[in-house]
Structure 1
């Protein structure tokens, strides 16, 4: 009997996750299905409790934090960031939350300087993970957000300063970002399909950055990345991170193992699939 997995979030739009997981199931020799589960915010908790037929699922915006009270335990990978993007139903029916975003993120930025002067845009579930990894690497970290006075953000900054004293952490409104940076990390949804004209910061900020990582994967080239490339700044988009975290999720769900060559090939296939979708919406 085919096993059921899926992705919960709202809104989900044109997600690449079904394409990726179907390909990974084929590589892993697994008879399984993967569905998009767009859960309405007002009924999300009840809908998750009703997902008894699913052996696991991924979690995306806006539920990476909200799902935590519905789980029986957190793996250290999720507790570290207080954010969950992968859930496994254990044989006894209990639910464990994991965070596989970190695996994908570190793979995506492996050629960049994560321990230098880092500008992080946004600080939701994925942003907190990026902030933690940058602080772990000893970065001088500036976090650009809409409201730096939010208690959860000031608490995060205080925690990072205490836990990683070699790092520097400051919170700033988007409009007050200044200075030069070795690396810009975008964890906001600004510029994501279908609102591809958006860019989270002005061109003047982008031009003061040595490299850019945008966690958005649709479109493959966001406005942020286009402006960076026009200035001769190296960029990486979110597809590599998406593929790596999906492979990590399948390892958690049923013990799958994939080669780097297979995942690199899948990244290229996913980018080609995305281009076809954009050409024929």
Structure 2
């Protein structure tokens, strides 16, 4: 029986995962295929679960939190994060949710860190930002969320001033701002206060260099896109499906 894996999301024709896994299956001569499950609403997910060939799924925007309600079980880390990006179909099509985003982010961030980084700003509060927050707490980096509609313990973009930017040397873009084709968009932060000690990390991988990154680079900051994180989380997902 051919094993089917896939990506669950909305408007995902651009997806990295399909190309990555299709190439992997071909190269390693595996009798598997990888499909995009592009759903307009999360309740259509139940149709996907009825296919006995489906063995595992990746989950992307906007379903990393919404899909949790359909899980039979959650890995403890996924439970703590409150968002999942990997689903494993166990015997009898029982569904277990995992999070490999935090692993991909942690391992791709480590080589970029310097001694001045004690605090991080997380731009955006969606499903991906939860895994980022979890990873930072395990790296002993304090973090604060920045949101267009901030809660009591979050900052708004208008709060960001020179003092805050100086204190927070790591800035992570978890918003979709700047994703292809809208490559001229970028998070509204005061880039003039960025220094060579800053690290600007963008979860976006298309384009290779976002406007957020290039604005940081102009100030001498270390910058990274999300490609390495994606590769690492994909390999971790493959490990989970085959445990």
Please say whether Structure 1 and Structure 2 have the same fold, judged by a TM-score greater than 0.5.
Answer: yes
CA distance in structure 2 between the aligned counterparts of 1:171 and 1:120, rounded to whole angstroms: 10
Q: Which residue of 2 aligns with 1:185?
A: 172
SS of equivalent residue, structure 1 residue 171: coil
Instruction: For residues 16-40 of structure 1, give each alpha carbon's deviation from its aligned partner in whole angstroms, at most 9, with x where no partner exists.
Output: 2111112332454421000111101
CA contact (8 A) 1:177 1:205 kept: no
- Correspondence 1:224-263 to 2 at 5 A: 224-255=212-243
How far residue 176 of structure 1 moved from its aligned partner, in angstroms, is: 1.3
How far residue 71 of structure 1 moved from its aligned partner, in angstroms, is: 0.8
Change (3 A) 1:143 1:33: same
CA contact (8 A) 2:105 2:135 kept: no
Q: Does 1:219 align with 2:227?
A: no
TM-score for the superposition, normalised by structure 2: 0.89
- How many residues get paired? 236
TM-score for the superposition, normalised by structure 1: 0.78
Q: Does 1:176 align with 2:163?
A: no
Change (3 A) 1:82 1:206: farther
Q: Does 1:199 align with 2:186?
A: yes
SS of equivalent residue, structure 2 residue 121: strand
Structure 2's unaligned 5+ residue stretches are: none
CA distance in structure 1 between the aligned counterparts of 2:138 and 2:104, rounded to whole angstroms: 16
Question: What is the RMSD computed on CA atoms of the aligned residues?
Answer: 2.0
Q: Which residue of 1 aligns with 2:40?
A: 40
CA distance in structure 2 between the aligned counterparts of 1:196 and 1:127, rounded to whole angstroms: 21
Change (3 A) 1:28 1:251: farther
How far residue 221 of structure 1 moved from its aligned partner, in angstroms, is: 0.7
Change (3 A) 1:126 1:78: same
Structure 1's unaligned 5+ residue stretches are: 155-169, 256-281
CA distance in structure 2 between the aligned counterparts of 1:206 and 1:10, rounded to whole angstroms: 36
SS of equivalent residue, structure 2 residue 54: coil
Change (3 A) 1:222 1:51: farther
